[in-house]
Amino acid sequence: MNKLVVDQLTKSFDSSIILQNVSFSIQEGEFVSILGPSGSGKSTLFHLIGGLYPPDSGDIYINGERTTGEKGKISYMPQSPSLLPWRTIMENVILGSEIIEKPNKAEALKMIQQAGLEGYEQAYPSQLSGGMKQRASFIRSLLSPQSLICLDEPFSALDEFTRMDMQEWLLSIWTEHQRSILFVTHNIEEAIFLSDRVIVLSDRPAKVQREFKIPFARPRNSSLMLTREFLNWKKEIFEELKVLV
């Protein structure tokens, strides 16, 4: 069954069209990346799926149910970690579930440990490094009750080393929890390494330019990025993006 269907979504701000007839879908348990240049409207797409504001036209279906303009249907991880500074890490990671239901603290504690944040449960976000904050923010979205997770460029603010670590960590934790993930990035390697499918958005207005099915077997590790096949994929997607410029 389709986890998410985005159907002919169009959105404009102040008479400039940002998204034009964007359509795609995500299967249950699939990891799909949306690749597009900065400012192409990727965050806007998430805001639409999250129901922050309604689209000009088009529809969104989650689990087969029309949810256009409805909030609380996805678990969302924003571009900046957005942890609340007055909440401890423990209180922060249960925020998403707390809004909908009674949070499961034992589960949260287990996740915190899995994320290598053991001992930081009672720390405040300001006491954590950038990578740790992103991990906490990701746990928060995993602990949220919604089954579709939308990640908005979670690693773009991290340095190259931390980013590599985080990508592998994300994959390992995703294999364990098998959720459907929609991942937004402007980094080609990241998109190929993580995803089952990569959807390339064109620039201004954003349309679905092309879809690539990435065949690499899982589990994947970072040595994959050095293989010839990986470079070929990178080249092909790069060519596709170059057409856009």
Partner 1 sequence: MTQRFIKGWRPVAVLLLFILLWELCSRWFDIPEWLLPPPTLIMETGINSWSDYAPHLFSTIRLTFTGFMIGVMFGLLLAVFLHLLPSVREALYPLLILSQNIPIIVLAPLLVIWFGFGALPKLIIIVLVCFFPIAIAAMDGLRQTNPEWMHYMKMAGATKGQIFRKLEWPNALPSIFSGVKISAAYSVMGAVISEWLGANKGIGVYMTLASSSFRTDRVFVAIFLIMSLSLLFFLLINLLENKMTSWQRKGGGAHE
Ligand X SMILES: Nc1ncnc2c1ncn2[C@@H]1O[C@H](COP(=O)(O)OP(=O)(O)O)[C@@H](O)[C@H]1O
List contacts with Mg ion (CB under 5 A). Answer: 43
Give whole-number Cα distances, 97 to 25, 62, 100, in Å: 25, 19, 5
Supply the DSSP string of 132-200, one letter for each residue: HHHHHHHHHHHHSS-SEEEEESTTTTS-HHHHHHHHHHHHHHHHHH--EEEEEES-HHHHHHH-SEEEE
Is 99 one of the binding residues for partner 1 (CB under 8 A)?
Answer: yes
Report how many residues bind partner 1 under the rule CB under 8 A.
33
| Helix, strand, coil % in the chain, rounded to nearest 5 | 40, 25, 35
Rg for the chain, CA atoms, rounded: 18
Is 43 one of the binding residues for ligand X (CB under 6 A)?
Answer: yes
In the shown chain, the binding pattern of residues 78 to 117 toward ligand X, with x for contact by CB under 6 A and - for none, equals: ----------------------------------------
Comparing CB distances to partner 1, the nearer of 87 and 105 is 87
Span 162-201, contacts to partner 1 by CB under 8 A: none
Beta pairing partners, 16: 13
In the shown chain, the binding pattern of residues 119 to 158 toward ligand X, with x for contact by CB under 6 A and - for none, equals: ----------------------------------------
Helix, coil or strand: residue 66? strand
Is 167 one of the binding residues for ligand X (CB under 6 A)?
Answer: no
Among 76, 138, 174, 193, binds partner 1 (CB under 8 A): 76
Give residues in contact with ligand X (CB under 6 A). Answer: 13-14, 18, 36, 38-44
